[in-house]
Amino acid sequence: MDEKIEFDTLDDALKRCGSNWDAAQTHGLLTGRLAIAGVPAGPDWLLQILEGTDEHNAACTECRKHLDTLYQSTFWQLSERLSEFEALLPGDGDDVGTRTEALGHWCEGFLHGLVSTKHGQALKERLAAEPLADIIKDMLQITRAGLDTESDVEENEAAYAELVEYLRVAAQLSYEELADIRHANSEKQ
């Protein structure tokens, strides 16, 4: 899957459309939902992101196209298990403070995606067990991440890069760890 959406493109489209979600939250939510539900997560995710928007607005139509591209790309990255998953975050041209804030928003979306669907007992137990319990705890910490004002730019950049890599691995691991939950959900439908 070669087609990808850029952070700024999606973020602008979401704003023009009137969505209450930013690009990082949107992608985090999608990633969490895909981990639990797989392909069937798409329609509910889209409805949640576009809730309260005017579906007949041309900006909303454009936004839907970008969201569809994001959905397909993200599903492919996770399902192919080729370690190609990338969290949708601002580019290196943005300052590290802006990127760190978006990192927190991505984690908020991801966590919301994990807990905002129906939770059967099997899912509750899986989320409370290792390694998912640690991932959830770590992502909660990342939602509160900020710049270390006593560190220089290079140290903050290095810390940011480590967190981005952690998210990449954690998202892929979460997807793999929840495979049996997705499979059980698909059998019920």
Q: Which residues contact 104 (CB under 8 A, 6 or more apart)?
A: 142, 143, 144, 145
Residues 70-96 pLDDT 10s? 999 999 999 987 778 999 999 999 999
Q: Which residues contact 178 (CB under 8 A, 6 or more apart)?
A: 35, 36, 123, 126, 132
Tokens at 90, concatenated = 């601002």
Q: Give the predicted TM-score (pTM) of the model.
A: 0.93
Q: Quick one: pLDDT at residue 189? A: 54
d(CA 67, CA 70): 5
Q: Whose structure tokens read 């939902």?
A: 33
Does residue 11 carry a pLDDT above 80? yes
Does residue 187 carry a pLDDT above 70? no
Higher pLDDT, 189 or 23: 23
Q: Quick one: pLDDT at residue 54? A: 87
Q: Quick one: pLDDT at residue 117? A: 74
Contact 67, 75 (CB under 8 A): no
d(CA 77, CA 53): 28
Domains and CATH numbers, the chain: 7-188 (1.20.120.740)
Q: How confident is the model at residue 48 (pLDDT cuts 50, 70, 90)?
A: very high
Farthest CA pair distance, the chain: 53
Does residue 1 carry a pLDDT above 60? no
Q: Quick one: pLDDT at residue 185? A: 65
Contact 132, 174 (CB under 8 A): yes
Tokens at 82, concatenated = 């080729």
| Average pLDDT of the chain, as a whole number | 91
Q: Quick one: pLDDT at residue 183? A: 83
Does residue 188 carry a pLDDT above 70? no
Residues 95-154 pLDDT 10s? 999 999 999 999 999 999 998 877 788 889 999 999 999 999 999 999 998 777 777 888
